Amino acid sequence: MIAAVSSSNRSETPAEFNHGYIWLISIVAALGGLLFGWDWVVIGGAKPFFEPFFHIQNNASLSGWANSCALIGCLVGALASGILSDKFGRKRLLVAAAALFAVTSVGNGLAGTFGIFIAWRILGGVAIGLASSLSPMYISEVAPASMRGRLVSVNQLTIVLGVLVAQLLNWWLVRDLPAGATDEFIRGS
């Protein structure tokens, strides 16, 4: 027998939400967007330093590879995010992506060879790929329908802020850098 559902069975009371808590969750999740924007752009400011360190300043192909190799990891992270987040949950995977951002940043800074530097950049790209898909997905899942568009757009805002902060830092690091200063920096280390 099929039971008919009438409209009187539904609650007419609007749901109440703790808006502050929902904003907090969304802003924390949107930090993935901030890291995404930051990691994507900050390599440009490191270029004058890593090129002489790895002796690739006269090799445009290797320099371009160093700047763009994270895209391979991005592809892997974005493709894997759906399957992995279904298996482990979005929140856990966002935490793992944040840890991966931290570990790969340290790894890049400590890389002694160009090959190790590239490996860390690609692994960092995985974190970018995970964050780029998981942050808005998680926010949209925790946000009530009436706030969803606003909260998901916070993720876009944090991406732009990450890009802006990285560009400002890149400018600040090299603003008064005289020609050949990075060579002196590398020889001194």
Q: Average pLDDT of 137-165?
A: 93
Q: What percent of the chain has pLDDT over 90?
A: 67
**For the segment 88-112, what is each residue's pLDDT rounded down to a tens digit?**
999 999 999 999 999 999 999 999 9
**Looking up tokens 């856990």, which residue turns up?**
92
> Lowest-pLDDT range, 59-63, 162-166, 170-174?
170-174
DSSP annotation string for the chain: -PPPPPGGGS--SPP---HHHHHHHHHHHHHHHHHHHHHHHHHHHHHHHHHHHTT-TT-HHHHHHHHHTHHHHHHHHHHHHHHHHHHH-HHHHHHHHHHHHHHHHHHHHH--SHHHHHHHHHHHHHHHHHHHHHHHHHHHHHS-TTTHHHHHHHHHHHHHHHHHHHHHHHHHHHTT--TTHHHHHHHH-
Give the separation between CA 177 and CA 52, rounded to whole angstroms.
Answer: 14
Give the separation between CA 46 and CA 24, rounded to whole angstroms.
Answer: 32
Domain ranges in the chain are 18-188
Backbone angles phi, psi at 69, to 5 degrees: -65, -20
pTM of model > 0.95? no
**For the segment 58-80, what is each residue's pLDDT rounded down to a tens digit?**
999 999 999 999 999 999 999 99
Identify the CATH class of 18-188: mainly alpha
